Structure 1
């Protein structure tokens, strides 16, 4: 897909490298940049209104997250969806979100619980509207509460690396009503957190992220079918 017109996504000149990373990551997840599409630093810089330096830094982070592939002096392109990497990312994300919830429960406040409920309400509304982008944003906000409250910087760092790969899968799932099971699991997590049951809340968080496995299997089966 061609780079969008600058007027479509123009951002302030003071754009930070984190904003460039988030903009490019969103473009890959939402399909603006298709698998296999080549990425040009200069074009991306004009699109976002920044120099090539934050673009190169953002691409480096995306490459570590498995969303971009590059060969120095040859190409930089959007990675195809790798099922093996998706399985590994799902396993790590499920374990780390379980850990985050377990660690967060003792320090969660009433404000935290309200934020989780509000995020899940927005998540529900986005699913009903089949708005995948809004659903992903609300889901991010929901899980960010416990990840932040866990105060574990290693968890934050590793989740930043593995989550973008999974968001490509979740966008497919959240484009339909297939993600409705997550609404109930979110409610269960909130209830258990409020009750102070860290172990059960952690298990519910793991179950929530394991719900992606059937979608990984479908992608794997489709890839095998095409190969055959």
Structure 2
């Protein structure tokens, strides 16, 4: 068979994406702690890749606010910063509001059931103090409406800024405050099922804005005050 002209492009793309996702996950789950210095050679060795995809990943993470760089001096995991998180929260809440508003008329009964099942898994994870499981189920819950909205711009913005909030949400889901999200999810589901696009959109916005409680909980931890 003829050799494809663009041979290897997909694998290089996957290397870049995998490096980005691996470093992002490590920052969000606290493996790479706020303020920790990042060395591209060490990260490349950890991931088993060359320095190029690592450097590209760090550039992307700097754009989201999760990494800070001083050229010629250091690259580090950004400290928790309440101001940046609040800005990300406002934008993310608005995008979820838009996505849910556009999704309601397209959501199928199966998708409503999937939202309900994801929220049940979310509640179970919270009961078990399973923070990783709670965040994964929360992601799954919200992703259903975002996909149904078929709005690629809203989806891209959500993907870019949600990780900033996830670091804060780990604090929330480790506390009793996270339990309130289950009821907020139930409200979103009920309004979606009733076909109330405006009500569901407002509930989705309120759900994401409620994360402001975490900023108050974290008020005494340095840059987040």
Q: TM-score normalized by structure 1?
A: 0.88
1:177 is matched with which residue?
176
Unpaired runs of 5+ in structure 1?
1-12
Structure 1 residues 150, 212: CA separation in 2 closer, same or farther (over 3 Å shift)? same
Give the SS at the match of 1:70: strand
Once the two structures are superposed, residues 66-121 of structure 1 have per-residue CA deviations (whole angstroms, 9 ceiling, x without a partner) of 10011223211000011111111111111111111000111111221122112111
Give the SS at the match of 1:220: coil
Structure 1 residues 174, 201: CA separation in 2 closer, same or farther (over 3 Å shift)? same
1:130 touches 1:177 (CA, 8 Å); kept in 2? no
Give the whole-Å Cα distance in 2 for the aligned partners of 1:35 and 1:221.
15
Give the whole-Å Cα distance in 2 for the aligned partners of 1:99 and 1:30.
28
1:24 is matched with which residue?
23
2:218 touches 2:224 (CA, 8 Å); kept in 1? no
Correspondences of 1:71-82 after superposition (within 5 Å): 71-82=70-81
Once the two structures are superposed, residues 143-183 of structure 1 have per-residue CA deviations (whole angstroms, 9 ceiling, x without a partner) of 11111111111111211222111111100111233201111
Backbone CA RMSD of aligned residues = 2.1
Give the SS at the match of 1:38: coil
Unpaired runs of 5+ in structure 2?
1-11
Q: Which runs of 4+ in 1 moved over 6 A?
A: none
1:123 touches 1:183 (CA, 8 Å); kept in 2? yes
Give the whole-Å Cα distance in 2 for the aligned partners of 1:166 and 1:72.
26
**2:155 is the alignment partner of 1:161:** no
1:173 touches 1:179 (CA, 8 Å); kept in 2? yes
1:127 is matched with which residue?
126
**2:119 is the alignment partner of 1:114:** no
Give the whole-Å Cα distance in 2 for the aligned partners of 1:14 and 1:157.
18
**TM-superposed deviation, 1:224:** 8.1
